[in-house]
Structure 1
Amino acid sequence: MRYRWISSMILIVITALLVAGCGGGGNVVKIGHQATSEQTIIAQMLKQLIEANSDIKTELVGGLGGTPVVLKAMQNNDIQISAIRYVGTDLTSSLGLKEFSKDPQEAFDLVKNGVAEKFDQLWFPSYGFDNTYIFTVRKDVAEKYNLHKISDLAAHAKEMNMASDAPWLERTNDGYPAFKKEYGFEFGKTTPMDIGLVYKAVDKGDVDIVLAYSTDSRLKEYNLVTLEDDKHFFPPYGASPVVRNDTLKQYPQLEELINKLTGKIDTPTMTALNYQADIEKLDPAEIAKKFLVEQGLIKQ
């Protein structure tokens, strides 16, 4: 009996040590991000900002798929922070809404409240940029037709060949059919094209105008001009970090730290940061560090 008691005690001690080892690396928070340069750079910013200003250790979990994959990882507690979630994407994907206000503040409030209620996660204020759909043209085309906003296209659209990804041309609520009704004109020709090819196509003059993404580095690479969505047709895609509420309770200093990035990164800045990663091939960690140092958020 004495030997059995000793064996049991040894087993308990070993188990306790194993448990301590598993949880122990101390304060470790996992930051999840998708595989894009944009998401990777922002995840690096969060990691470096948190670790430089607290004793919290972080781990990056990269290469995640779309928003449903990120959301599932958050729900399973495989990650505690989403580096970037986009307002319009979560409204339609995570919350399953088919219609919602396109006013940026109203859409933000809707997604913040919906994600809090349904998933117990805090949607932070925007970093300051939107990664939304935009129409873009070459600089010479913009100058020729005096184009600044989408409404300026009305008098010239019939002469233009517009390229876009195929799904957008067919989507009813936020695609081409709805766009024609909202703006009251249509293009002379539409060409379905992979989103990765549209930038080169418009640069070469194969098409006159393309539907692109507002923070894509190729806008800067090809020196393209973007047109203001003056009727606010496209849903807002403001970019924000999202954190589990139980994580914020465990590490209350996280909220103040993450909020240091609120409004610090506008759309041209994010485009330029993406350019550094995609075109100049700089390390996202170094891009993030340089930005944080310049903003006075971490020391060199």
Structure 2
Amino acid sequence: MKRKPFLVQMLLVIILLLSIASCASPTDSGNSGGGGNLVIGAKSFTEQDILGELLAQQIEAKTDLKVVRRLQLGDTLVCHNALLSGQIDLYPEYTGTAFSTILKQKTLGDVKEVYRQVKEGYAQQFNLAVMPPLGFQNTFAMIVRGDVARSLNLKTLSQAAQYVPQWQAGFGYEFTERQEYANMVKTYDFKFTKAPRLMNLGLLYRALLQKQVDLVAGNSTDGQITRSDFVILQDDRQAFPPYEAAAIVREATLQKYPQVRTALEQLAGKVSPDEMQHLNYLVEGELRDIKEVVQTFLKSKNL
């Protein structure tokens, strides 16, 4: 899939921001109104819906503030610009995305250093605060069937490199155009004898289960991983950047409502990768209500 021209992307951002603004008029603090003290946004996929609701329920439970949810806003640039314009007060982001897409930095594998640079960069350039990570990463994950991993005793991508020429890989349409793909191929010297099969992301796991492909590129917190006997191969040479989930908040919001910082800091390290996988599965696989799923999770953490 070809990437949209830059001008087209910016036009879409402007249109979406205008649609956000039309939903509610700004208050004196720069927030959207609609009966709430602050507004939480999120990108347009299930995990972001869950995280947005998690942040909202935590704030509502620990403060006397009312939260307006503006989920399913769009991509990273839409959420970031909505934050800068004051149409939303916070949203969940991933450090690797902030590092590369917003700060325009080259891939770096050091988790702590990426977080440090994102936190400092956002404070200096945008007057935005990066909260402590929630406890998991949603990074790219190379996945094989469990029977293959066990029979070959595979745990890492380094170990898998010798088998790649024999395998049929299956990737999403845009993955092979991303820098992460090039980094992976170079870092592990992957030699794909067969051209990777490009397909819709929703079909990857079905194709792997049906043995139409042997290796797929998914996300480490995909709910489908918990449903089937799949194994994530460890990125032992750090070809992929870290993507720690963390809330990004306007400093103006934290100054007006300092209790929000305390509430969000209580979520630090509370969501493990396995737990995020399970939450995604409950919503996508079992079609559970997001609010109820989040409420149950928070209760299990005594929050």
* Gap regions ≥5 residues in structure 2: 1-27
Root mean square deviation, CA, Å: 1.9
What's the CA shift for 1:25?
Answer: 7.9
**1:260 equivalent in alignment to 2:266:** yes
Residues matched between the structures, number: 273
* Gap regions ≥5 residues in structure 1: 1-18
**TM-score, structure 2 as length reference:** 0.85
Residues 22-41 of structure 1: pairs in structure 2 closer than 5 A? 28-41=37-50
What's the CA shift for 1:51?
Answer: 1.4
Q: Which residue of 1 aligns with 2:130?
A: 123
CA distance in structure 2 between the aligned counterparts of 1:250 and 1:275, rounded to whole angstroms: 37
What's the CA shift for 1:184?
Answer: 2.4
- AA paired with 1:295? K
CA distance in structure 2 between the aligned counterparts of 1:224 and 1:232, rounded to whole angstroms: 21
Q: Which residue of 2 aligns with 1:91?
A: 99
Q: Which residue of 1 aligns with 2:185?
A: 180
Quick one: which of 163, 167, 176 aligns to 2:170? Answer: 163
**TM-score, structure 1 as length reference:** 0.86
Quick one: which of 110, 132, 137 aligns to 2:117? Answer: 110
SS at match of 1:74: helix
Quick one: which of 143, 153, 178 aligns to 1:136? Answer: 143
Contact 1:37/1:284 (<8 A) preserved: no
CA offsets 1:44-94 (integer angstroms, 9 cap, x no match): 222222112211111101111011000111011110011x10111111211
What's the CA shift for 1:23?
Answer: 9.6
Quick one: which of 282, 288, 295 aligns to 2:288? Answer: 282
Moved more, 102-111 or 192-201: 192-201
Q: Provide closer, same or farther for how the CA distance between residues 245 and 49 of structure 1 changes in structure 2, counting only shifts above 3 A.
A: same
Contact 1:27/1:55 (<8 A) preserved: no
CA distance in structure 2 between the aligned counterparts of 1:216 and 1:116, rounded to whole angstroms: 31
Which has more radius of gyration? 1
- AA paired with 1:184? D
Contact 1:29/1:59 (<8 A) preserved: yes
- AA paired with 2:173? A
CA distance in structure 1 between the aligned counterparts of 2:233 and 2:261, rounded to whole angstroms: 35
- AA paired with 2:290? P
**1:78 equivalent in alignment to 2:87:** yes
CA distance in structure 2 between the aligned counterparts of 1:215 and 1:75, rounded to whole angstroms: 28
CA offsets 1:24-50 (integer angstroms, 9 cap, x no match): 988611011123221111222222221
CA distance in structure 1 between the aligned counterparts of 2:104 and 2:169, rounded to whole angstroms: 30
CA distance in structure 2 between the aligned counterparts of 1:285 and 1:107, rounded to whole angstroms: 31
